[in-house]
Amino acid sequence: MFSKIQSAWRKLATGAAAIEPPLAIESLDSQHWDKTVDVAVIGFGGAGAAAAIEARDQGAEVAVIDRFNGGGSTRISGGIYYAGGGTGIQQQAGVEDSPDNMFRYLRHETGGAVSADTLRRFCDDSPRNLYWLMQQGVPFDASLCPFKTSYPSNSYYLYYSGNEAFAPYSEDASPAPRGHRAHGKGVSGAVFFGPLATAARARGIHIMTQHRATGLVTDSDGRAVGVRLRRFATGSLAGWLHRHLYSLLIFGRYGAMYLPAITVVLRAMLEKLEVRYGKEFFLRARRGIVISTGGFFYNRDMVAQYAPEHLPGMPLGTIGDDGSGILLGTSVNAATTRMGNVSQWRFINPPESFVRGVLVDSQGRRFCNEMYYGAQLNQQIMEKAGGEAWLILDKSLAKRALRQIGPRRAMWFQAASALLYLFIARKRASTLEELAGKLGMPAETLAQTVQEYNALSHEGTADPLGKPADHLAVLQRGPWYALDCRVAGAVRNPSITLGGLRVDESTGAVLDDNAEAIAGLYAAGRAAEGVASASYVSGLSLADCIFTGRRAGRHAAGQPAD
């Protein structure tokens, strides 16, 4: 089944993100322009909105372009924004933090994705950037979540969204919750993005939805001076159908994640409408162009090229995450970086009792701290267990798990995942020996692993893998359960790409292979390298989108008009 799905996706991806070679013009006057602005932003998600608003606030006339209806992956995300250093929300919650403390944690978590100077600037700017979001109308709340979770319920809006609270991270920085969830019931991405869209409209920014960027326009010096687009005629039936088909895909996104055929069919229909009924449109940008189109996990050819081991992952975001913005950059000889970096998440909390179990490899050996954030946990599974891992629970932990998936501690999608683990994606046996047989692993090794883990719990000995003592447990009574945590197992891993166009870390200007800036071209968010490009914790991508989006918009607007 999986191979058939991949084959269908690969066929669909061919040409879906097709980008034309740049149109080189001899002079600006020799080209017909349908519209002229100072700054053109391609992609209207979190990074694009930040870039457009910042450029407008610098006095530039701005147009922001989106292939679909706007919002991108930001609008359907969890709405988690990673912020620290003593934000106003942290202070209201009684949390002590500083930019230096945040930096000391993130320098371990981000793995050198950006320079130390850029990371310090990111941390120093964090309280101000959160305040900037609040000025645009994005709501936050200081209700602190009292337990570790991958996503807080509707009762809490500030939480530990990464690995801050345990070793080795806590050895260098004082733990502080930095996951700021936009305040609103349900999945909060729309609550996060909606005020940004409203703020953009209020500033008179030209919002051009259902405009697909197919190529760049360059002048005789190689400067990016315009964007080649395809758009639907105003009021056309094709445009109406395109808009509503995409809305249907977003509305049914959770079903589409688990049934990729839905995505395949609707994406093909959208593509055909664009090709058949889209009319060419040329947009001139006097000062600069910002690419903020997201990542490329929906482009299966690109994933197969750069990160084939991640193909089994379940794509998050939208079908607009097809690498088109990255390909726009490379069409004018831009360099890329960290393209093989993908964040895949193996979340086993909530329910909290899951992380009290023992995660073992195919040989029955424990290999990492079960409390790691989902991206780090999956990375450990891939690197230390070869992608093969099972979470061992006894009867007591399984029963407690069922009691911990109520609305106070888990959102509906977390409860659904827990039930999937407990009743479908698992092996069950009366004894550990029988369970080992079903898993095809040495029974003696599994028994010894559980025995050693129980000894840690009994004796209060420090866990050599770093799990806090209050999250250890004694596993002793059957029936026994092994939850399927394999990378290519029954529960697929949500995935996003982290690499993208190389940029100047001071300006956001896109760089070529010689580290020279490509005149007139900038990039932000997941279309570019950034703070989140090496590894990921919840909220770090949105925070990077705002940080890099504002940077790119500010510098693009500051360029002299051509």
- Taking only the tens place, the pLDDT of each residue in 405-435 is 888 788 888 888 999 999 999 999 999 999 9
- pTM of the predicted model as reported, rounded to 2 decimal places: 0.93
pLDDT at 2 over 80: no
Average pLDDT of the residues in 374-395: 95
pLDDT for position 383: 93
State how far the Cα of 121 lies from the Cα of 505, in Å rounded to an integer: 10
Rounded to the nearest 5 degrees, what angle is found at the Cα of 138, between the Cα atoms of 132 and 144? 100
Q: pLDDT band at residue 7, thresholds of 50, 70 and 90?
A: low
Q: Which percentage of the chain shows pLDDT scores above 90?
A: 84
- Report the SS3 class of residue 109: helix
Average pLDDT of the residues in 205-223: 97
pLDDT at 121 over 90: yes
User: 144 - beta bridge partners?
Assistant: 158
pLDDT for position 262: 82
Alpha-helix residue ranges (DSSP H) falling in 23-180 = 46-57, 72-75, 88-92, 99-109, 116-135
pLDDT for position 488: 86
pLDDT at 32 over 50: yes
Is the Cβ–Cβ distance between 33 and 533 less than 8 Å?
Answer: no
pLDDT of 151-210, one tens digit each? 999 999 999 999 998 888 999 999 999 999 999 998 999 999 999 999 999 999 999 999
Q: Looking at per-residue confidence, does 287 or 259 come out higher? A: 287
CATH architecture group of domain 352-484: Alpha-Beta Complex (3.90)
pLDDT of 524-535, one tens digit each? 999 999 999 999
420 residue type, one letter: L
368 is written with which tokens? Answer: 């990492």
pLDDT for position 13: 45
Would you list the domain boundaries of the chain? 2-77+189-344+494-557, 80-181, 352-484
Q: Which percentage of the chain shows pLDDT scores above 70?
A: 96
State how far the Cα of 99 lies from the Cα of 125, in Å rounded to an integer: 8
Average pLDDT of the residues in 16-40: 92
State how far the Cα of 30 lies from the Cα of 340, in Å rounded to an integer: 41
Average pLDDT of the residues in 513-538: 97
Q: Looking at per-residue confidence, does 217 or 255 come out higher? A: 217
pLDDT at 8 over 80: no
Strands 158-159 and 500-501: unpaired
pLDDT for position 17: 57
pLDDT for position 15: 39
Is the Cβ–Cβ distance between 8 and 2 less than 8 Å?
Answer: no
Alpha-helix residue ranges (DSSP H) falling in 227-373 = 237-251, 253-258, 260-277, 300-306, 324-330
Q: Looking at per-residue confidence, does 511 or 265 come out higher? A: 511
pLDDT of 187-199, one tens digit each? 999 999 999 999 9
pLDDT for position 489: 87
Rounded to the nearest 5 degrees, what angle is found at the Cα of 538, between the Cα atoms of 536 and 540? 60
- 373-to-150, 364, 415, 497 alpha-carbon distances in Å: 7, 22, 18, 17
Q: Which CATH superfamily is domain 2-77+189-344+494-557 in?
A: FAD/NAD(P)-binding domain (3.50.50.60)
H/E segment holding residue 291: strand 279-291
Rounded to the nearest 5 degrees, what angle is found at the Cα of 226, between the Cα atoms of 223 and 230? 145
User: Which residues are within 8 A (CB) of 416 and not within 5 positions of it... i.e. 6 or more apart?
Assistant: none
pLDDT at 112 over 70: yes
Is the Cβ–Cβ distance between 51 and 248 less than 8 Å?
Answer: no
Q: Hey, what's the torsion of the CAs at 537, 538, 540, 543, to 10 degrees?
A: -170
State how far the Cα of 196 lies from the Cα of 216, in Å rounded to an integer: 26
Q: What is the 3-state secondary structure (H, E, C) of 511-539?
A: EECCCCEEEEEEECHHHECCCCCCCCCCC
Average pLDDT of the residues in 437-455: 97
Q: pLDDT band at residue 139, thresholds of 50, 70 and 90?
A: very high
pLDDT at 388 over 80: yes
Q: pLDDT band at residue 505, thresholds of 50, 70 and 90?
A: very high
pLDDT for position 354: 96
pLDDT of 35-53, one tens digit each? 999 999 999 999 999 999 9
pLDDT at 9 over 80: no
Q: pLDDT band at residue 131, thresholds of 50, 70 and 90?
A: very high
The Cβ-side half-sphere exposure at 92, using a 13 Å CA radius, reads 13
Alpha-helix residue ranges (DSSP H) falling in 24-87 = 46-57, 72-75
State how far the Cα of 489 lies from the Cα of 50, in Å rounded to an integer: 38
State how far the Cα of 99 lies from the Cα of 550, in Å rounded to an integer: 19
pLDDT of 282-318, one tens digit each? 999 999 999 999 999 999 999 999 999 999 888 889 9
Q: Which candidate, 394, 399, 395, 400, places its Cα nearest to that of 451?
A: 394
